[in-house]
Amino acid sequence: MHIIIPGGHSGMGLELTKKLISESYKIGFIVKSERRKSDAINELNNANNVDFFIADLSNREQIQAVAQEINPTNPASRWPFLRGVNRRTFNWI
pLDDT score recorded for residue 73:
58
**Category of 45 on φ-ψ map: left (φ > 0), alpha (ψ -120 to 50) or beta:** left
Listed by start position, the domains of the chain span: 2-85
Measured CA to CA, the distance from residue 58 to residue 82 in angstroms comes to 16
Per-residue pLDDT at 47: 76
Per-residue pLDDT tens digits of the chain, which is 93 residues long: 778 887 777 788 888 888 888 888 888 888 889 998 898 888 888 778 888 888 888 888 888 888 888 775 554 555 554 444 444 444 333
Tell me which CATH code domain 2-85 carries.
Answer: 3.40.50.720
